[in-house]
Amino acid sequence: MTFIIDTLNKLYPKTPIPLNHKDPYTLLIAVLLSAQSTDVGVNKITPILFEIADNPYDMVKLKVEEIREIIKPVGLSPMKSKGIHGLSKILISSYNGKVPISFEALESLPSVGHKTASVVMSQAFNIPAFPVDTHIHRLMYRWGLSTGKNVSQTEKDAKKLFPKELWNKLHLQIIYYGRNYSPARGWILEKDSITIQIGRKSVLKEYHKKTLKK
C-alpha cells in the first residue's frame, strides 16, 4: 500500500474536486447529474442551471420539465430532473433547506445513492468516505486489491486496505490516475507505473496476449 500511496502523492499532491460547485447543495446536484455522464459534461451544464437556481428554494420554483430541458445534455434527464426537484422539496420541508450531514439522510433523498452520498460526505463535509466510481473499481481489480465482484465489495476492500485518514484524498488520486495512466480503453501498460509493479498476474497476462496479437 505504501508504494501506491507514495506514487499517487508524487503525481497528485493536490486533489481538486472535479465537479464545479460552491456549497454542499450545488455539489449534491452536480454529483447527481454526473451519473453515467462525464465531469466535463456536467461542468458545462451546472453554470446554466445554477444561474437560475443554486439553492433548493429557487429550484422548487422551476417545473420538473424546465429542469429536464436544461440538464438534457448530460443524459437520464427524466429521472435526474424529478430527483433534483424532489430532493429540493425534502431539503426545505425536513432540513431547513440545508444538505444533511448523514449518510442515512442523504441516501433517503430521491435519486441519491450510496456513491453520491459518499462524495458529498467526503468532499462537502470532509467526513471520511471512499466513493467508488468506475476508475477505482477497475484499478482495485487491476492491482489485485479486490475481486471486482461489485462496487460494494470494492469499497469494503479499499476501506480495509487504506488508512481512514487518507480516504478523502486517495479516492480522488486514484480517479485521476485511472484517467491519466490506466484507462479502460487505450491503456498503455508501460505508462502505468503502479500496475507494472503490483498488477494482477491474470490482467498483465491478458494485456500482453492482446498486444502480441496487434
pLDDT digits (tens, 9 = 90+) for 77-100: 999 999 999 999 999 999 999 999
Q: 178 and 113 in one domain?
A: no
| 108: CATH | 1.10.340.30
108 and 166 part of one domain = no
Helix axes 151-161, 167-181, angle to 10 degrees: 120
Q: What average pLDDT is seen over the chain?
A: 97
Same domain for 116 and 76, yes or no, is yes
Alpha-carbon distance values, 47 to 22, 51, 53, 123, 143 (Å): 11, 6, 10, 19, 37
Residues 113 and 136 in one domain: no
Is residue 100 in some structural domain? yes
Q: According to the model, what pLDDT value does residue 214 have?
A: 61
Which of 78, 106, 123 terminates a domain? The answer is 123
**Residue 138 and residue 58 share a domain:** no
- Count of structural domains, the chain: 2
Is 204 a member of any domain?
yes
210 as an active site residue: the answer is no
Q: What is the pLDDT of residue 212?
A: 81
pLDDT-based confidence at residue 182 (cuts at 50, 70, 90): very high
User: Is residue 76 in some structural domain?
Assistant: yes
Selecting among 39, 89, 98, 133, the annotated active-site residue is: 133
Please report whether residue 9 resides in a domain: no
33 lies in the same domain as 114: yes
Among 54, 115, 157, 192, which one carries the catalytic annotation? Answer: 115
Could you give the CA distance from residue 104 to residue 177 in angstroms, rounded to a whole number? Answer: 30
* Domain boundary residue, one of 99, 123, 147: 123
Residue 28 is assigned to a structural domain of this protein: yes
Mean pLDDT of 9-22: 97
Say if 112 falls within a structural domain: yes
Last residue of a domain, one of 107, 123, 139: 123
**Catalytic site includes residue 213:** no
Q: Is the pLDDT of residue 205 over 80?
A: yes
Half-sphere exposure of 159 (CA within 13 A, CB side): 12
**What average pLDDT does the segment 143-167 reach?**
97
163 & 202 share domain: yes
* Spatial distance between the Cα atoms of 214 and 211, rounded to a whole number of angstroms: 5
Could you tell me the three cell numbers for 8?
499517487
Residue 210, pLDDT above cutoff 90: no
Q: The domain that contains 165 carries what CATH number?
A: 1.10.1670.10
CA distance 56 to 6: 41
User: Per the domain annotation, does 4 fall within a domain?
Assistant: no
Give the residue numbers spanning the domain of 161. Answer: 131-213
Which band of pLDDT confidence, cut at 50, 70 and 90, is reported for residue 171?
Answer: very high
pTM, full prediction: 0.92
Query: If you average pLDDT over residues 52-74, what whole number do you get?
Result: 98
